[in-house]
Structure 1
Amino acid sequence: MDKKAAVQQDNLAMRFFMTHRASLTDYAAKVLGDRGQAEDVVQEAWLTLAARSGSAAAEVRAPLGYLRTMVRNLSIDLLRRKAREGRISGGDMDDASQIVADDRPSPETALGARRDLDCVLGVLRTLPERQQVAIEMYRFGGYKLREIADHLQVSVPLVHLLISEGLAVCADRCGLDRGKAK
């Protein structure tokens, strides 16, 4: 085949491909469930066919059927490869990262928590010093009631009373749910 005939054949093949590209992509997308991957598969099928020598490509009697078969086979191969990778690695990391919830609170939640904390700290400043110290040691310092009682030189029941009444005052003045303030 001379050079001019080869160029004409390539032009015909390109027009044929461009005419059927959308339907081939739709077909691959049905198999894969992902249009982006479908477009990649169709391109790969075309490149594979175009890479064949001119005479071998010309021998294909039903080029659309041939391309559809190539697209189907490449799509199935891709699905199998993804399944194999999923078994090895434990799943698709892109999917997993979209499914896993973010541990950070939303900006609205964080802002509300800061406002609540500011309110509670403001109310704490108005409480008697011993009650304020007991609450701060318990809620912010993580001390046990016995440790607070030793520090303040009072009984454990009195520390419990100071903390529970102080937290109730904070919850009432700040409009908080008492379950949150405990």
Structure 2
Amino acid sequence: MTGEALASAFEEQRGRLVAVAHRMLGSRADAEDAVQEAWLRLARQDADSIDNLSGWLTTVVGRVCIDVLRSRKTRPEDSYDEPPELLILEDSPEEDAVLAESVGLALLVVLDTLGPAERLAFVLHDLFAVPFAEVGEILGKSADAAKMLASRARRKVQGRRPVEEPQQRAVVEAFLAAAREGDFDGLIELLDPDVTWRSETPRGVVVRLGAAEVATRAQRGARAVATARPALVDGKPGVVTWDKRGRLGGVMACTIVDGRIVAIDSVSDPRRLAALGVTSLEAPSSK
């Protein structure tokens, strides 16, 4: 295989490899570094001796990631300049069926509680369907041992999934409906008089105080929203929205006390959304 052909074959795999590394490491910069290391190793390898390039690259990226995770355990003082990532879970009753997909969309923040081996086994198998035999090879363990690690990680992830009260979801849905309909009085009834809305916008952080100001802003914002999908955002009832061009509009989380919204946290800055990886969520098709 020529150098040009090898580079082209690697570029075809890059997106998937970055996705694997990002979910393993929780950092876009670290993920890019891990994939670049895989390329450097590939460039030193006799490519013609590799029967399965995709599998080979996955193995290399997995081993690089496990080394990074283990290094973090020994150097907890390491800091990262990326903003904290939001935990976003799509709303669905089939908990077990959508667990892996939801956690993938949630950027695996909860996996920070897992050990490196557990995290790798869960991410590679449950999110990317890598066979346990290959996972075990990366970890230097048997397929059965890799399966046990993934199972243990899965139980921990399920135990950490945020639980949303149906009443809180109903409040958020009523808030969205009132905003779409321009029902100012209905919005006021759903908002605490001292509600605070903190929004990260392209112009910076904007804070709005009081039910009247928040209700007015909600009405204006609703006009630009074409699609809204219920979601859990950092364990709170929230919404992911798209504009009329199908572009991701923002993410919103609500804090509710005694049936009223007391705080709203939202992100609409495209750069911030990209840094959070939220663009991996796709808008549902219009009906």
TM-score scaled to structure 2, two decimals? 0.27
> Greater CA radius of gyration, 1 or 2?
1
TM score, norm. by length of structure 1: 0.42
Q: Which structure shows the higher helix fraction?
A: 1
Higher relative contact order (CA 8 A, sep 6+): 2
